[in-house]
Structure 1
Amino acid sequence: MKLKYIFIISLFSVSLSAQVNKDSIQHVEQINLLVKKKLIERKADRLIFNVEASIASQGMDASETLSNVPMLKVDDNMGSISIAGKSTVNVMINGRMLNLSGNALLNYLKSIRSENISKIEVITTPPSKYEAQGNSGLINIILKKNPNLGFSGNINSNLIQRTYSGFSSNGSLNYQTEKFSSSLKLTYYDSAKRTDENYSIIGATQNYSNSIRRDMWKELTPTLNLSYKISKNAEIGMEYIYAHQKSGMDIVNTTKNITSALQEENLLTHTFHREKLPTHTLSAYYDLKLDSLGKKLSIAGNFYKNNSDTEVNFSTRKLSDNSVQDVKTISLVSPQIFSVQGDLELPFSFGTIETGVKFNQFKNNSDLQYYNLSGGQYTPDYSRANIFEYREENYAAYFSFAKNFGKHWETKAGIRYENTNAESFTPATNSGNKYQYGQWFPSAYVSYKEDKNVFSFSYSRRINRPSMGNLNPFRWYSNPYSYYSGNPLLTPAYINNWELGYTFNNKFSASVYYLRMKNAFGQISSLDDLSQISTYLNYYNNNFWGLNASYTDTFFKFWETSISMNASLQNSSVFNIDATPQKGSSFTYSINNTLALNKNKTLVFFLNYSHSLPYKNVNSYFYAFPELTSGLKVSLMEKKLQINATVTNIFSQRYRGELYFSDNTQYMNNYWDGRSFRLSVNYTFGSGKKKISKKNINFEEKERV
């Protein structure tokens, strides 16, 4: 009888335990992840930040989450993401390049919740598998695998209060089966900000310019993702993005010009600028698993096209004689990109081989028409009109080999070859330019792990090709006298990166790096009587020595803090301009603090401070820029409803800098509406059934548009 009761009680216990596990398995898994995951990990070619292990990164969107990652800085006002020591950054989702940049990229990232992110990889020296374009690092956002089967979705709304109010909203609806996956995302934003820009050129002739500007953006962007598993080993998919964008600027500019003979002229210009930018992006892929060991073939294709239709009306009053010039410019810019690539991944017992080929083609046709208002009618001024045609083709192939030696050593090496053919033509002057070049881009990585210590070394060679805007000789007029334009004679810059890294106990990370940039280009401004002219030139070589360090830890189970710093030294040589370069230095640091105000961590306060000390680079000097950001995060309804309130740039700092030339000094003092209040409300809904994975498609070339 006693055994019978014991048997019944045992059955009841097993049943109850199974039910408890069934009801709470996801909660237990989340707790285990938070306990077991290390916050920071160092691999041979990347630094990994585990979002699930970070209190500070819970209950926010992906753009905010990136701000918590060591070495990363997200600037909403500038629409930029940067890595310490890198001039540009490309963002990937699950190893596939995101087909967006600038504000469009940040708005897309705001639609991804941190709860759906597993980890973020920071790749400061990208391997040969990726495009060699740009002095860029890579950020790879790894989403948690297996979105829910059935229906699921997300709704998010944001209020942004700067000088003007702004609003953004996005929603996604997903439907998944074992074989079929679909996702429809809709993003809308309507925002504006006030800009105060001051630029002065002081030499034999002096020019003082002040612009008060209202910048406006509207965009409605639907995105459709479809994928289907043809068989156990094969999958096809596509993504289509249509961005219906409108932007505008209302500008009041005052310019004072004093000649060497001390004659003064003052200009007052009112500008009305409107642009329509419908954009189409279509991507497709085919993945085939070749065996059960992980060998895989991937084929992907991309197509991008937009038609930027811009009208600018400006009226300039010359105060010396009270004369008025009314001008209108109409421009149509139509860039188009096509790319196709194949990648083969072959893991063997002796190591892993990756190889692939890629082709991409750029086309751009630009047409600018200039009109003067005379007698109540606009008449064309053909001497200021411009048509520009550009075509570029790139062929690439790469090979890499990775191998681990025991438990301590991890190595990887690769080589990439890229061949470029480009030509441009300007019918107005019957002039053109053709060039062809091929280059090798090697990369190598090695890491050693012993107990709590991880050492790593990496090297890569890169190329920075001019964007279409850098090359386009269009004269974009701000008044009848002043303009900026591109330069079709620009040539690429080349970059060599070396980096030595160290991580201790998955909390402290440091790296020492050296960067050599040759034939770099940038924008140069000069004066010609009343005219302020800006264009792009190849004009400097640069050597950078830098140190990054960060420490992240959790104290008393409710307080997470992250401290990071970057210091660098540089020297430069210049050509094509008359300037004396300076030995430069920089030092920036940040302290991020997140405190959970209750036991369940559903009410969180954060206070973040960063400070860039004055720094020099080539022939420029930039003033210190401190920034303080603070806010609250509230999670309700089992974290399905999340409310965040944030105040950025509390001290309302301005960007100030100086550029030194032999015959003049140039000063800037700008405010880009950095102080803002942001209120975000997010609600997640959907099935909790079994999950499957989602694929993102690579399209790295799009950024150059």
Structure 2
Amino acid sequence: MKALLTSVIILFLAASAKGQVYGRLTDSIGNPVAFATVVLEKSADSTLVHSALSDEKGNFSLRTAPAATYIIKVSCVGYANYISASFTLQTTFNSGTIKLKTTGKQLGEVVIRSAKPLMQQTTGGLVVNVQNSVMTKGSSVLQVLSRSPGVIIDAQTNAISLNGKSGVIVMLDGKLLRLSAAQVSSLLNSITADDIDKIELLTTPPAKYDADGNAGLINIVTKKNKQTGTSGTISATGGYGTDEKASTDLSLNYIKGKISLHGSYNYYHNRTQGLLLAWGTENVPIIGGQTAFNYHGDGHFLSNYNSFNGGLDYRVSARTNIGGNLNYNVGSNKNNNHNYGNYALPDTNLSYSSLISGDGHTSYFHGNFYAEQAINTNQKLNLNVDYFDHNSNSSTQVQSDFSSTLFAPRQQNLANAAIKVSVAQVDYSNLLRKGLQLESGLKGTFTHTKSRASIENLVNGQWVPIGAGTSNDLATRELIGAAYTIVNWNPDSLLSISAGARYEYSQNTTDHSLNAQYYIDRRLGKLFPSIFITRKLNATDQLQLSYTERITRPSYADLASYVSYNDPVSVFTGNPALKPTITKNIKLDYKLRDYLFSIVYSHDANPILGTQVVPGPTSGLVYLTPENADWQNNLTLQVAVPFKPAAWWEMNYGAIGGYHKYRVSFFPELLKKNYFSYTLNFTETFKPAKNYAIEFSGYYNSASYSSNSRSNGNAIFNLGIKRDLPNKNGSFQLSISDIFRGASYYSQLGQLVTDSFNSDVKINYQAESHSFPIIKLSYSRPLGSSGKKTGPKESKTKDEQNRL
């Protein structure tokens, strides 16, 4: 791979070592003409070779192909187009001073209105401008994220994967969400998409971002208001699938002079349900050995969230800005499940029926302070301090008629977790000279977590812990120190090189534990290099080559010693022995006008796999826990193709497909697997009349494999209709999610090798929309005045919020 990378870099740089054409542009009286477009074409067939813009002094320079005959074309607003006589180039050609003639016409007032495309390519990945989608109104951020290209959210576990890889880290405004997959989904479900500006899907982030996330980073960017005066928005949504949904959002902003204030409140309510069907065979010693079983779980869930956000920005002087932000989110989750089934043994048949009721509460607080100082016109210094506090506690009661040697007819499952994260970061940038910029920074993160969990039996009116392997009390501490440096170099107007490196040192330790195997003291120091080479082929097309290295540290939930009830023969738990995943990526991007093409090769060492069937401390009990695979290789191709057949019709199509290969050795026999999988997505937007818009969108995920399981493909289609009211009185929006009821997820466990329990299990999870599409009606309107854009700068903090 290193040889391939070296060869491609040489090819990129070789193009800049050919002949050169240069000159100067002026008007008829000798004034320089800046920012004019200069194009070099072959005179024989008008083939475009290179293009560039003239600088402030009117100078231009074009790097060319080998010796040939060329012509120069110049165009600029207010001037007549210029075409030179043909000339033969050997090594260099000086066109001298080219005088452009004015057109003699004066432009009147020009108002430019341009909507951002739904998807844009940026350094490190794709940007999805979510407000361009009719489906955004009334949706939660999690629902919008599930419709983003390459993003797959497991409907049952809430695990997020990007481009077929599960090691993805989620950020909110550049802050890592250091939470579990379930906690991340709860938080994103509590934020309405009305407050979101864009979603950045960064598969190969540069060195200024944290090195966490072998699949990359998903950065959710909230709206930033810059209108003077008082302004805001209000929206309300009501909906129904098989149960009711509702949300409301109010945001207010005040900007005057040096002060900017903003605040928002949103409420989210969702009652939903899901059906879990499982059947097959499994060797479960705790109930007597090999058994054939059927399992039926009918779940009903209720979520309520309240979120508050407020902030202040103050421009101290022309060079200094300070500010802060507070975010508080509180929510509750209730679930009621009726689970039943039977276990057929050689000499008996055990029936199982239980009523499971759970009640959980979460709170999330994030405080931020920032200061920005422009030392001079070339140097800037930014300081960011963040504090995160997340608490969750849940209690689950189980009433069952199933008897075994382990569980009593009544059990309870208690789980509590507290996470506190402190972060300090300093970033410095310096424009050393034209075309050469230095970026560097330091960052420290300290995290303290406490988790307690147990499954208890009711014996003679007293709750009694079952014993080893079903309870624990664990505290962990983690310290991460990081430093990075990036050099951005633009040798000419066509070539740019960004080379950087990030060094991170981490230490993870446990304070105490009920189980000796959970004591850990792990230290890791590693350098993560990155390089991005971008070459413009012409005014619209470009190539970019990048190489990055990343790490996925086990999340706090993966490491925690929690134990939670799953069914009479199995429990969920963490794995403090997990190793971090180290990933190397090489990526080539090609932008052809608005078409985007990417190909990336990655190698993961010790990839983290979730929910594996393994034995544990209690003999005969099935443990569902995360484990490390040996390695995984991926070769992935991504395509994003927009079309505009007519002024009233826009189309966006995308595809992500790849070849995957991995090896797993924690089963009794070695598992090797290679397979091909792909995802297709599309969005069709129609504007049949003024103030009306219709959107039809959908995606298809092919079958895929993970460890010892196979997931079948499925497709989801959505429809949205929007009506803008006259006189800026707001808009109505109707959305129908999963109109063909495709939310049925089928998987097979134990299909590739024999695990420790000889599992051969089929699972079918049916989400709410499989029974009936989810229909929502939203109304939103702007509030207050709308002055010109101004006000203090927004915080440029980049980095912190995701693991537990």
Structure 1 residue 41 displacement after superposition: 5.3
Give structure 2 stretches of 5+ with no counterpart: 1-107, 284-289
Structure 1 residue 670 displacement after superposition: 0.5
Alpha-carbon distance in structure 1 between the residues aligned to 2:524 and 2:218? 29
- Tell me whether 1:682 sits opposite 2:780 in the alignment: yes
Please, which moves more after superposition, 576-585 or 445-454? Answer: 576-585
Alpha-carbon distance in structure 1 between the residues aligned to 2:167 and 2:642? 25
Q: How does 1:126-275 map to 2 (within 5 A)?
A: 126-139=205-218, 147-200=226-279, 202-204=281-283, 205-206=290-291, 207-259=293-345, 261=346, 263-275=348-360
Contact kept in structure 2, 1:68 and 1:592, CA below 8 Å: no
- Tell me whether 1:558 sits opposite 2:648 in the alignment: yes
Alpha-carbon distance in structure 1 between the residues aligned to 2:768 and 2:798? 32
Alpha-carbon distance in structure 2 between the residues aligned to 1:365 and 1:98? 17
Closer, same or farther in 2 for the Cα pair 1:99/1:177, shift >3 Å?
Answer: farther
Contact kept in structure 2, 1:583 and 1:617, CA below 8 Å: no
Query: Which residue of 2 is the match for residue 435 of structure 1?
Result: 522
RMSD: 3.1
- Tell me whether 1:454 sits opposite 2:542 in the alignment: yes
Query: Which residue of 2 is the match for residue 303 of structure 1?
Result: 387
Q: 1:651 aligns with which of 740, 743, 757?
A: 740
Query: Which residue of 2 is the match for residue 470 of structure 1?
Result: 558
Instruction: Say which SS state the counterpart of residue 187 (structure 2) adopts.
Output: helix
- Tell me whether 1:488 sits opposite 2:576 in the alignment: yes
Closer, same or farther in 2 for the Cα pair 1:133/1:604, shift >3 Å?
Answer: same
Structure 1 residue 565 displacement after superposition: 1.0
Structure 1 residue 378 displacement after superposition: 3.6
Alpha-carbon distance in structure 2 between the residues aligned to 1:648 and 1:59? 12
Q: Deviations over 1:308-349 (max 9, x none)?
A: 22211111212799x961122333211111111111111222
Query: Which residue of 2 is the match for residue 360 of structure 1?
Result: 445
Closer, same or farther in 2 for the Cα pair 1:639/1:71, shift >3 Å?
Answer: farther
Q: 1:112 aligns with which of 189, 195, 219?
A: 195
Alpha-carbon distance in structure 2 between the residues aligned to 1:94 and 1:334? 23
Q: Deviations over 1:594-635 (max 9, x none)?
A: 11020x3x1111111322222334433221201111121111
Structure 1 residue 664 displacement after superposition: 2.8
Instruction: Say which SS state the counterpart of residue 409 (structure 2) adopts.
Output: strand
Alpha-carbon distance in structure 1 between the residues aligned to 2:443 and 2:202? 21
Q: How does 1:24-173 map to 2 (within 5 A)?
A: 28-29=111-112, 31=113, 33-34=114-115, 42-47=121-126, 63=141, 71=150, 83-87=162-166, 89-90=168-169, 101-112=184-195, 117=197, 121-139=200-218, 147-173=226-252
Instruction: Say which SS state the counterpart of residue 443 (structure 1) adopts.
Output: strand
Q: Larger C-alpha radius of gyration, 1 or 2?
A: 2
- Tell me whether 1:537 sits opposite 2:627 in the alignment: yes
Instruction: Say which SS state the counterpart of residue 129 (structure 1) adopts.
Output: coil
Instruction: Say which SS state the counterpart of residue 405 (structure 1) adopts.
Output: coil
Please, which moves more after superposition, 475-484 or 513-522? Answer: 475-484
- Tell me whether 1:409 sits opposite 2:508 in the alignment: no
Q: How does 1:359-398 map to 2 (within 5 A)?
A: 359-379=444-464, 384-398=470-484
- Tell me whether 1:592 sits opposite 2:691 in the alignment: no
Contact kept in structure 2, 1:97 and 1:698, CA below 8 Å: no
Instruction: Say which SS state the counterpart of residue 148 (structure 1) adopts.
Output: coil
Structure 1 residue 201 displacement after superposition: 5.2
Please, which moves more after superposition, 525-534 or 639-648? Answer: 525-534
Contact kept in structure 2, 1:98 and 1:698, CA below 8 Å: no
Structure 1 residue 73 displacement after superposition: 6.3
- Tell me whether 1:575 sits opposite 2:575 in the alignment: no
Please, which moves more after superposition, 86-95 or 443-452? Answer: 86-95
Alpha-carbon distance in structure 2 between the residues aligned to 1:164 and 1:400? 51
Question: TM-score, normalized by length of structure 1?
Answer: 0.87
Query: Which residue of 1 is the match for residue 286 of structure 2?
Result: none
Contact kept in structure 2, 1:356 and 1:397, CA below 8 Å: yes
Query: Which residue of 2 is the match for residue 672 of structure 1?
Result: 767
Q: How does 1:341-352 map to 2 (within 5 A)?
A: 341-349=425-433, 350-352=435-437
Closer, same or farther in 2 for the Cα pair 1:418/1:38, shift >3 Å?
Answer: same
Closer, same or farther in 2 for the Cα pair 1:472/1:699, shift >3 Å?
Answer: farther
Closer, same or farther in 2 for the Cα pair 1:457/1:652, shift >3 Å?
Answer: same
Contact kept in structure 1, 2:438 and 2:486, CA below 8 Å: yes
Q: Deviations over 1:273-308 (max 9, x none)?
A: 111222222111111111123x21111111111332
Please, which moves more after superposition, 668-677 or 494-503? Answer: 668-677
Structure 1 residue 385 displacement after superposition: 3.6
Contact kept in structure 1, 2:702 and 2:713, CA below 8 Å: yes
Structure 1 residue 677 displacement after superposition: 1.2
Amino acid at match of 1:156: S
Closer, same or farther in 2 for the Cα pair 1:276/1:694, shift >3 Å?
Answer: farther
Alpha-carbon distance in structure 2 between the residues aligned to 1:614 and 1:547? 17
Alpha-carbon distance in structure 1 between the residues aligned to 2:373 and 2:228? 23
Please, which moves more after superposition, 547-556 or 194-203? Answer: 194-203
Closer, same or farther in 2 for the Cα pair 1:331/1:591, shift >3 Å?
Answer: closer
Amino acid at match of 1:419: Y
Alpha-carbon distance in structure 1 between the residues aligned to 2:454 and 2:153? 37
Closer, same or farther in 2 for the Cα pair 1:302/1:145, shift >3 Å?
Answer: closer
Structure 1 residue 91 displacement after superposition: 5.6
Structure 1 residue 373 displacement after superposition: 2.3
- Tell me whether 1:704 sits opposite 2:803 in the alignment: yes
Closer, same or farther in 2 for the Cα pair 1:514/1:412, shift >3 Å?
Answer: same
Contact kept in structure 1, 2:702 and 2:714, CA below 8 Å: yes
Alpha-carbon distance in structure 1 between the residues aligned to 2:415 and 2:137? 43
Instruction: Say which SS state the counterpart of residue 627 (structure 2) adopts.
Output: strand
Contact kept in structure 1, 2:721 and 2:733, CA below 8 Å: yes
Instruction: Say which SS state the counterpart of residue 102 (structure 1) adopts.
Output: helix
Query: Which residue of 2 is the match for residue 519 of structure 1?
Result: 606
Alpha-carbon distance in structure 1 between the residues aligned to 2:778 and 2:135? 15
State how many pairs are aligned: 666
Q: Percent identity?
A: 22
Structure 1 residue 367 displacement after superposition: 2.2
Contact kept in structure 1, 2:408 and 2:458, CA below 8 Å: no
Instruction: Say which SS state the counterpart of residue 191 (structure 2) adopts.
Output: helix
Closer, same or farther in 2 for the Cα pair 1:202/1:98, shift >3 Å?
Answer: closer
Instruction: Say which SS state the counterpart of residue 657 (structure 1) adopts.
Output: strand
Contact kept in structure 1, 2:696 and 2:718, CA below 8 Å: yes
